[in-house]
Amino acid sequence: ARSWGLFNATAREVLASYAVPLSMLIWTLVSVLARDTSLAVDVPRIRVAEAFAPTTSRPWLVDLGGCPLGGIFAAIVPAFVLTVLFFFDHNVSSLMAQASK
């Protein structure tokens, strides 16, 4: 789409960058609009809840005080390993980004 002569450069760039989401949106719209016509095809749809809420008997927030003491100490080891990995990843990425080519 970037090399087309049909639209201006900005429109071609937007079309090339967002072609997949645009095509999904357009064809979803076509399937919804064609639902009540003679061309209708039975497309299975996902049923979703009308309201955004947690499932019954579950709160929005987790009670962190309910975690046993052994679980807290067991989580320290993988947390430390992840912290070290994130630290090294950040430093290596910043060195690679700042390196001359």
pTM reported for the whole predicted model: 0.42
Residues 2 and 38 in one domain: yes
In the chain, how many domains are there? Answer: 2
- Read off the pLDDT band of 52 (50, 70, 90): confident
pLDDT of 80 over the 90 cut: yes
Residue 54 lies in a domain: no
Residue 38's SS3 state is coil
Residues 4 and 40 in one domain: yes
Residues 36 and 70 in one domain: no
Residue 89 lies in a domain: yes
Residue 69 lies in a domain: yes
Among 8-17, 24-33, 54-63, 81-90, whose mean pLDDT is lowest? 54-63
**One-letter amino acid for residue 67 of the chain:** C
> Which residues form the domain of 18?
1-45
Residue 90 lies in a domain: yes
